[in-house]
Amino acid sequence: ENVRTMEGLNKAMVRLRTIMDWTEADHPDATPTGIHAYLWDRYREVRKECSTQRFNEDPRYLPTVIAWNEEIARFFIASNHELAGMPNFTQALNQEQFNKVLMDLQANYIMARSLNIPTPNAAEFKSYFALMTYMGLENKAGKKRANKVGAAVVLKTFTDEEKASPWLALVLAIMRIHAADEAVPFFRVLRACPYILACVLATQVADMRLMGFRLV
């Protein structure tokens, strides 16, 4: 079986970033969903190789592995929003890889903490995972299933430092708004959110819009 060194994987990640900007002038298959399908497969390979070769357990490489997994997670979050409804895009498959990379990140953060390696973005990504679990992840049947217990488990993984970040307070506020079906505050938060968080919340727009109409 062919496996790549960290240097080889880094070259692959650099190349994959350039492909995101391709158009059909660069390659006939470089449609939005075509690019997603290609990157979906290549990102999966990178993630699996890092685990198989235990680069995620090596203090020399762990910060890079974490950065890659965070980059990949952002890609899947943005894809879920930007490509929704497009032909040849399957949200369930996108969600499947997103769930796996987030599970890897959770393990990465635990390993980093044991090695005293800083993880400045941990609160951000734990927040995404907690919110998506709380509000409902789409399964293979295309249905969303909320898991409030699972979200609580994710929140318990926040370290003291992460609890002091703005992310935890924001997540708890969004959860309260969502639980109360408060459409107006939800859309106010949505408009003020950073892009990736807005993509996470966008999965709830249809439901919240319906709640808003019911209040009129």
Burial class (CB in 10 A: 0-12, 13-18, 19+), 128: buried
141 has pLDDT over 70: no
Do 11 and 85 fall within a single domain? yes
Say if residue 6 is in the same domain as residue 59: yes
Contact 162, 172 (CB under 8 A): no
The CA R_g of the chain, rounded to the nearest whole Å, is 18
Last residue of a domain, one of 67, 98, 119: 119
pLDDT, one tens digit per residue, over 57-115 is 999 999 999 999 999 999 999 999 999 989 999 988 998 999 999 999 999 999 999 99
Boundary (domain end) residue, out of 61, 86, 119:
119
Residues 129 and 57 in one domain: no
Number of domains within the chain = 2
Overall average pLDDT of the 22-34 stretch: 92
Per-residue pLDDT at 182:
86
Query: 171 near 155, Cβ under 8 Å?
Result: yes
Taking only the tens place, the pLDDT of each residue in 181-197 is 888 899 999 999 999 99
Residues 3 and 57 in one domain: yes
**Start-to-end C-alpha separation, the chain:** 61
Q: How far apart are CA 185 and CA 183, in angstroms?
A: 6
**Mean pLDDT score of the chain:** 91
pLDDT interval class at 147 (50, 70, 90): confident
Angstrom distance (rounded) from CA 64 to CA 115: 14
The DSSP element (H or E) to which 144 belongs, if any, is strand 144-145
- Tell me the two tokens of residue 198: 């807005």
Indicate whether 132 and 158 sit together in one domain.
yes
Residues 95 and 136 placed together within one structural domain of the fold: no
- Are 88 and 129 found together in one domain? no
What's the domain range around 91?
Answer: 1-119
Q: How much is the pLDDT for 76?
A: 96
Please report the DSSP string for 152-200 in residue order.
HHHHHT--HHHHTSHHHHHHHHHHHHHHTT-HHHHHHHHHHS-HHHHHH
Q: What angle do CA 68, 14, 116 make, to 5 degrees?
A: 30
Of the residues 97, 119, 141, which one is the last residue of a structural domain?
119
